[in-house]
Every structure is written in C-alpha cells, then in structure tokens.
Amino acid sequence: MTKNKQFKQLLEQPNTFLLPGAYDGMTARMIEEFGFPAIYATGAGISNAQLGWADVGLTAVTEIADVVARMSDVTNVPIVVDGDTGFGNALNLMRTVKQLERAGASAIQFEDQVAPKKCGHFGGKQVISKQEMVNKIKAAVDTRQAEDLSIIARTDALAIYGMEEAIDRANAYKEAGADVIFVEAPTTVEQLTQITAQVPDIPHIINMVEGGSTPLVSLEEAEKMGFQIMLCANTVLRSAIKGIQQSLGILQQDKSQENIHEFICTWEERQELFKLKQIKQWEKQYLEFDVLEEARKR
C-alpha cells in the first residue's frame, strides 16, 4: 500500500491518532520506530533546528523539501508536511505542491496567513482574504499529481476575527476541496467542540502546543470532541532541547563525561537506530570481492 493510501485510511478509521512532529531524518525514523502511524514534518521545528531561528517564515520551500526527502528516504509511513502559506500566492503554492509531493509528502498543510507567516500561537498574525485562500486550495487540488495526496487547510482567522469568521472560512475551505480542516489556536474547550460541530463531515486536526493558546487535552478527549488527528508538532524538538541542555550543563560543570551516561543513549542504541548492522550487510553484499581475482580478469 502506498503511503498516500495509508494516510487516507488513517483519516477514514474511527479512532483519533497521534501525529508527532519531526525536524530531520533521525527524528522521523524514531517516530516510526515507536509505532506512530504517520509523521508530521514541522515547519517550526525545521526552522528552529535547521536555521536556528523562530518560526517567523524564514524557511524556503527548497529547505523544507530537502528535509522531507531525507525523512522519506528512511521511513515507511506517511509524512504530513507543513507547507506554511505555500510560500507566496497561488502560483507559488502550485510549485510548492509539486516540490513537496516529489519529496515524499502524503499530505500537505497550507494556511491562510499573510506571507511571511508566524507561528500560529504567536501574536501579530495577519490573514489573507477568504476568497484568496479558497483559490489557493483549489490550485493545490488541481496541481497534485496523485489524487490521493491529501490537502489540509488551516485557518488562523480565529485569533484575529473570532470564531464566527474561523468557522465560515473552514466551511469555505472544505467546499474548495480540502481533505482535512485545521482551525488554529482555539483558546477554550467550548471553541474546540464548536469547531467540529459546525464544520461537519470532514476530518479535523487539534494542535496541542505545550504552553500555547489551546488547552491541552488527552487523545481520548480529542476523540470525544470529534477530532481525527491530534498533532504534537514540537514535543520531540522540545524534549531534545531539554536533553541537550542537561548534557551540556553536566559537561560544562564536571569537565568530564563520567556523570553524563544517564542523559545519553548507549553506543549500541545509537548504532541500532542508525542501522549500522544493515550497512554492514550491504558492505558485505556489494563491496567485498576478491582483489586478486579482479586483477587477473584485467
């Protein structure tokens, strides 16, 4: 089964599923190995980890596509890609769809912020008109090469114009052909339940940002509210930051690695994760040969 079809099946199943965010090949591989059914290529995480800057629209589509291609090379589950605003107008978005689909995306998320965008839980956001975003969604649907590539439409209008406008936009984006709806940054449980009730018959994403605008709920609670996907976009990134800070703190304080072992993986765990055994098998299969025999043949 293709990755695209795997993702479509996840959308059609009755149960809500967790979607953790990855920012490179290593974290993508780890998410798959822990048994999660799909991976989210987080725009914020890629900006933080690859550029060293906050999520304020500094990444280029080529940088996102490069990371997604590396993720796709080492995993076998669907990848949902944060396509930001499409990196411009509808024509820019069309090129973005092609690039990310080639890179290995099974679903691409686009939002209605003005470019350059900001993290959905930052202040000072602006959104384009509803009609411009409707046209961008239609362009994405018309541009995708595979009909089963999912298009996710996100609106950031709630924080700017309120719930009524966000619901209106979500329904308009659904009618434009989006496969999944994502209303960003609701601030109460009441708003969460209102979203799924007033935009029916389509899968919804709930975005769980630790310390963000939306109250944290469990997977079971998200399912009861009618959400199909529980996105945890940067939990992995933030846990990595914490672990690195702890290790560097010990190294700085002790000037030794003697007390660092409980904060790092073992040598064996590292090589297992990065498939050293598989590489050795390939070396034996493809690189080992009889040098003297080869010389005689020449």
**pLDDT in the model for residue 294:** 64
**pLDDT in the model for residue 288:** 79
Tens digit of each residue's pLDDT (9 = 90 or more) over 137-177: 999 999 999 999 999 999 999 999 999 999 999 999 999 99
Distance CA 243, CA 249 (A): 10
Confidence band (pLDDT; 50, 70, 90) for 296? low
Helix count (H) and strand count (E) of the chain?
Answer: 14, 8
Mean pLDDT of the chain: 96
Strand partners, 40: 21, 80
Distance CA 45, CA 24 (A): 9
Tens digit of each residue's pLDDT (9 = 90 or more) over 201-245: 999 999 999 999 999 999 999 999 999 999 999 999 999 999 999
Average pLDDT estimate for 172-194: 97
Q: Does pLDDT of 2 surpass 70?
A: yes
**pLDDT in the model for residue 182:** 98
DSSP string for 253-290: HHSSSTT-GGGS--HHHHHHHTTHHHHHHHHHHHT---
Distance CA 157, CA 130 (A): 9
Tens digit of each residue's pLDDT (9 = 90 or more) over 27-42: 999 999 999 999 999 9
Q: Does pLDDT of 9 surpass 70?
A: yes
Tens digit of each residue's pLDDT (9 = 90 or more) over 268-294: 999 999 999 999 999 999 997 766 566
Q: Which residue has the tokens 């010990």?
A: 250
Of 13-17, 126-130, 146-150, 287-291, least confident by mean pLDDT is: 287-291
Distance CA 55, CA 171 (A): 27
**pLDDT in the model for residue 189:** 97
Tens digit of each residue's pLDDT (9 = 90 or more) over 75-92: 999 999 999 999 999 999
